[in-house]
Amino acid sequence: QVQLVESGGGLVQAGGSLRLSCAASGSIFSIANLGWYRQAPGQQREFVASITRGGSTNYADAVKGRFTISRDNAKNTVYLQMNSLKPEDTAVYLCAAGPGRFNSWGQGTQVTISL
């Protein structure tokens, strides 16, 4: 079992930046892939970005060029640097982990972008 705790959310103006962090604990040896998803009110959860243990990354089209995912394997932490934020980025951001497919989820951190 893997426990994930997100931090770094908040309220920023459009065009601003935030950096989210997610610390993993527990059966961390099982973590090959780490990722971020988001869920806005009344909408389905959507993929944002992922990173493998070796550092290969994948991004949703909506965030390409603005968000950067990274990980520190020594600290068992994954980060999401979010730049040029837009009001449509407003959502709860959830960290995910898994040996292949994601099977562990954090509670989420709220990100709100104002005009």
Q: Is the dihedral of CA 88, 66, 28, 111 positive or negative?
A: negative
Question: Is residue 97 scored above 70 in pLDDT?
Answer: yes
88 band by pLDDT with thresholds 50, 70 and 90 = very high
Q: Count of alpha carbons within 13 Å of 80, Cβ hemisphere only? A: 34
C-alpha to C-alpha distance for 109 and 6, rounded to whole angstroms: 6
pLDDT in tens, 21-60: 999 988 776 688 999 999 999 999 999 999 998 999 999 9
Q: What is the mean pLDDT of residues 80-104?
A: 96
Question: For the chain, what is the mean pLDDT?
Answer: 94
Q: Is the dihedral of CA 37, 46, 111, 105 positive or negative?
A: negative
Q: Which two tokens stand for residue 36?
A: 């971020």
Q: What is the pLDDT of residue 29?
A: 67
Q: What is the pLDDT of residue 26?
A: 82
Q: Which two tokens stand for residue 52?
A: 């493998």
Q: Which long-range contacts (CB under 8 A, 24 or more apart) does 51-58 make?
A: 51/78
Share of the chain above pLDDT 90, in %: 85
